[in-house]
Amino acid sequence: MCGRFNITNLPGLQDLMNYLGIDSPLPEPRFNIAPTEDILLLRPGQGDMARWWLVPSWAKEVSSKYSMFNARAETLTKSPAFRGPFRHQRGVVPMSNFIEWRMEDGQKQPWVITNREQCIAVAALWDVWEGANPPLLSCTLVTTEAAEAFRPWHKRMPVLLTREECLRWLDNEQAIAVDDRMLAPALKFDLELYPVNRAVGNSTRKDPALFEPTGPPVKLRGPVAGPKA
């Protein structure tokens, strides 16, 4: 699952947007972003702020009754809320890092997860609810089973996209199957993880100092390229 993230390294985000051909203003650095807050959603040729908690176009009202901030990759074609967006309303949510918790010494310890560029692209789905004025743009993050190396931190993880996969995911003219390798539980690149202050468990705490490492980092290796021919 993915329930908290940060946007801090704007050069990395700018590089990603340049690669995707998106000319939109960069957001301000933000910490401890939580579901129902507005986040940057990248779509073909544009970036917009969207509510992080999907409101289906057919919903009678904006509600938090059901957990709609994450969407399980394995059931995207079965869920009434996600089936349509999976076919033709796919987007990308960039983040500098995200946070997961694991039990340590009887307490939940938050860990920051990032990559070398400090810019992670996560597969997302979006929808527009016409019951608001202006209409409400909202999104959800797609998750999959955790890669084996990531399981000590959580049994699930966000679908992390390479830059090339971002282009495929954003091409809503092309169908993607739920068993596509893009959605598989795999580490596609190296990750670095480090523990941070437990106070980040309170989503109202936005102090950047809370995200300074409180212990040594752990590195998870992505795929290793074979020797060149």
Which residues are identified as catalytic? 2, 100
CB neighbours of residue 180 within 10 Å: 13
Helix boundaries (H) for 37-119:
83-88
18 contacts 37 by C-beta, under 8 angstroms: no
Residue 118 backbone zone (phi > 0: left; psi -120 to 50: alpha; other: beta): left
- At residue 151, the 3 state secondary structure works out as coil
* Cα atoms found within 13 Å of the Cα of residue 113, Cβ hemisphere only: 29
The one-character DSSP state at 135 is P
Helix, strand, coil shares of the chain, percent, nearest 5, are 20, 35, 50
b or e along 76-102 (b: 16 or more beta carbons within 10 Å of the residue's beta carbon)?
Answer: beebebbeebbeebbbbbbbbbbbbbe
